[in-house]
Structure 1
């Protein structure tokens, strides 16, 4: 919700930041987490993979907090950011509701 609005409101720099952030999400969601979920938590391999996930997330969060979010605040303004925040909260609630109905995997 935020990323497309950020990209639309910005220029070339924001477009580049948008694509980098989306790629970081894709990397964790598609490559790193699936492998981590298949790894025995008591193994050293798990420890290594967990450390990589932690480092990727810390890097991504730092970029969002120090670069993207301050720019988004200036580009989008308080009213639009509040509207986007409400959309995110609604999406989160719908996701939680859907997950609560989903049976646990065996």
Structure 2
């Protein structure tokens, strides 16, 4: 049975370690962060605008990186921008996953 993805994950890439160990939990996840945009001078929330960015996170080595974005987008285009930012994050996620051999430290 396939493993359930963590909430907010748009795409996953199995790491080299995950492939070798047949462990789907060892993956690089793509997420898109979206927070209300603040006015640069007053720091008040700007209605209808979001700061959005694509992010990759590796469950093996713990690497987390913003891959693109960090810009303001209209709330109305959130779905389109999520798809765009996820697509822009895919090359970094795939490249990292192809070479990452790290495994998380055992907890017990």
TM over 0.5: no
* TM-score normalised to structure 2 length: 0.28
More helix by proportion, 1 or 2? Answer: 1
Q: Which has the larger radius of gyration?
A: 1
More strand by proportion, 1 or 2? Answer: 2
